[in-house]
Structure 1
Amino acid sequence: MTNLPNISRRDFVKLAGSTAFLASLNWDELVRLAVAQAQSGSINIVWFEAQDCAGNTTALIQATEPDLIDVLGGSFHLVGPGNVKLAFHETVMPEWGEGALDILRAAVEGKLDPFVLVLEGSFPQDEKAGGPPGSDYYCYIGDENGKPISCVEWMRRLLKRAVAVVAVGNCASYGGLVANKVIERVQGLPQSKWSDSPTGAVGFFDDPIRGIKGLVSQLPEAEPFRKFISGQCSLKPGEIRGDCRPAVAVPGCPANGNGQLRTLAALVLWAKGLLPLPELDVYW
């Protein structure tokens, strides 16, 4: 006999009511409203999860100063006019499927400008970046004409519009655990050798310890960020330029939730022209 979960009448009624509520929502209208709200003069956050465990998102949800509800509800008011909007986050956004992709496409098309791009998780090399056949399927979100849109391809598109990049967690920053080399056993021989990560995973920044080149060194679209972190250019408060854009790493496994939101606040205040950019160390 199947073991059924023990659920009270009160919990059953709550569950049934929630299901009915979600089923009654007009999801197309929710997407339209989300895009319209993001176009209302706020600085937007596009939070992109690639090859991740969502540990940094879990830490973000536990942040307290400010908390995620303040950000989602648009009540995270910073110094000066306007506020911040979390326009896209795969884990916590109500939209899903094509509706969620429509918001991501709106960011690519410039409809969510200005936005800060937050990265969580590492990025496996796709075929266009030199990965093996089928590597587009290692990490992809959505498809076009029957082909997957790889996570690296989304980076090619989003980096063209993002005014700043924040990499949260070790994976997004430097590749993390999944970028480690692995031991490959040689058949018939007692010895073994080290091979690169099976997915060719990298972070956004270069890893100076393991010698792994990140997206900032691999993608032409990342050149404005590469110039900034290499010290070839500097930015004044509110100076948003196409040829020089800031990028900051918030490493950790996971990164502290308060640290994540405070770093975002620092970049938003810079974009508003209210504060200079924070000083960065050799690990950005």
Structure 2
Amino acid sequence: TYPSIKNLLIDEILPGKHITLRFHPTIMAGQGEAVLEVLEATRQERKKGFVLVVEGAIPTAENGMYGIIGEMDGAPVTMLSWFERLSRDALAIVALGTCATYGGIPAARPNPTGCKSVSHVLRDLSIPTPFIQIPGCPPHPDWFVGTVASILLNGLPKASDLDELARPKAFFSQTIHENCPRRAYYDERKFAKKFGDPGCLYELGCRGPVTHADCPLRLWNGRTNWCVGSGSTCIGCTCEGFLDAVSPLYVKLEEAQFPKEV
């Protein structure tokens, strides 16, 4: 898939524009207190000059102790505490993935760790930093790279560039159902009775009619395939409130839940 992680971190993402990745626990070489010091240096030296990208829901129960990102002076450092510190000084926040945007599976009932979305925690803490939401479990790489490239090229998106859930309209303006290659089956009321059958997957619980994303057009894994293309239903992973809001999976939606344009 292009661009690769190496391309993004080393090459110009746009002419004259580079990404400087200051912290990522998976791909950075550093560890321990030294990398937390990098976070603090970024906050102090680049106030309102950096974009904070958050992956994962934020555990808030027990003062955030269910989400530890490291230690400083022998004391645990929580994701919640650092999110609060960094988010106040960020130019903007990108909530990347359904867990960050809506809480996702960690915030599903009974949610013993008190996981919350980025927007929920911002609201709780009265932090006014603007945010962009890129849901998906997982989010498509193009959605993230395209959003970052747009920020580098044009600055922060205008309100008209985002939908009511702060998602980029470039990627989330249409439902899966609108562009699904099985849509003609739905219009003809030809429904699959079991997985593997030809026909629309609506009666097998497809969430495509209420899910906004461009998966049928963009495809995944180097434009190889996507969920419905592989014979599965859409499970609605970009829907607000996923997982609880679309559960139980593989149970038929009521057509009353369809957007008006369907």
TM-score (norm 2): 0.57
8 Å contact 1:71–1:86 — kept in the other structure? no
**1:217 matched to which residue of 2?**
123
Does 1:151 find its partner at 2:65? no
**What SS does the corresponding residue of 2:123 show, helix, strand or coil?**
helix
1:201 corresponding residue in structure 2: 115
Q: Find the aligned partners of 1:151 and 1:262 in 2 and give their Cα distance.
A: 26
Q: Which amino acid aligns with 2:90?
A: A
Q: Once the 2 structures are TM-superposed, how far is the Cα of residue 199 of structure 1 from its aligned partner?
A: 0.3
The letter for the 1-side match of 2:132 is V
Aligned alpha-carbon RMSD (Å): 2.3
Count of matched residue positions in the alignment of Structure 1 and Structure 2? 166
| Of 2, 5, 9, the match for 1:72 | 9
Structure 1 residues 140 and 165, CA gap change in structure 2 (3 angstroms):
same
**Contact conserved, 1:116 with 1:163, CA < 8 A, in 2?**
yes
Aligned-partner residue type, residue 72 of structure 1 = L
Of the three residues 22, 31, 37, the one matched with 1:87 is 22
Q: Which amino acid aligns with 1:102?
A: E
Aligned 1:234-273 pairs, distance under 5 A:
247-271=131-155
Over the matched positions of the two proteins, sequence identity in percent amounts to 31
Aligned counterpart, 1:177 = 105
C-alpha displacement of 1:156? 1.2
1:7-35 CA deviation, whole Å, 9 max, x = no partner? Answer: xxxxxxxxxxxxxxxxxxxxxxxxxxxxx
Question: What secondary structure is seen at the aligned counterpart in 2 of 1:103?
Answer: helix
Kept in 2: contact 1:164–1:267 (CA 8 A): no
Assess if the C-alpha contact under 8 Å between 1:106 and 1:112 holds in 2: no
Q: Answer yes or no: is 1:142 the counterpart of 2:66.
A: no
Deviation at 1:119, TM superposition (A): 0.7
Give the residue type in structure 1 aligned to 2:144: Q
C-alpha spacing 1:270/1:277, structure 2 compared with 1 (3 Å): farther
Deviations 1:92-138 (A, max 9, x none): 1122222322211211222476211111000011xxxxx33xx5420
Distance 1:120 1:204, change over 3 A: same
Question: 4+ residue runs of structure 1 moved beyond 6 angstroms?
Answer: none
**2:252 match:** none
Q: CA separation in 2, counterparts of 1:281 and 1:111?
A: 29
Query: How far did 1:269 drift?
Result: 2.0
Within 2, Cα distance between the matches of 1:176 and 1:165?
A: 18
Provide the C-alpha distance between the structure 2 equivalents of 1:282 and 1:104, rounded to a whole number of angstroms: 31
Give the Cα–Cα distance (whole angstroms) in 2 for the partners of residues 82 and 266 of structure 1: 11
1:100 to 24, 35, 51: 35
Contact 1:267–1:277, Cα closer than 8 Å, also in 2:
no
**CA deviation profile, 1:141-184 (whole Å, cap 9, x unmatched):** 223343222111101110122111111111000100111122xx
**Structure 2: stretches of 5+ with no match in the other structure:** 167-262
Q: C-alpha separation between the residues in 2 aligned to 1:78 and 1:276?
A: 20
Q: 1-side partners of 2:31 and 2:71: how far apart?
A: 14
Partners of 2:19 and 2:159 in 1: how far apart?
17
Question: Whose relative contact order is higher, 1 or 2, with alpha carbons under 8 Å and at least 6 apart?
Answer: 1
* C-alpha distance in structure 2 between counterparts of 1:82 and 1:92, whole Å: 21
CA distance in 2, matches of 1:104, 1:224: 18
Conserved? CA contact 1:270–1:277, under 8 Å? no
5+ unaligned residues in a row in structure 1: which ranges? 1-62, 126-130, 183-196, 206-213, 226-246
Residue 92 of structure 2 aligns with an amino acid whose one-letter code is A
Structure 1 residues 102 and 224, CA, compared in 2 at 3 Å: closer, same or farther?
closer
1:123 and 1:203 in contact (8 A); partners too: yes
Report the secondary structure of 1:87's partner residue. coil
Aligned to 1:224, what secondary structure does the other structure show?
Answer: coil
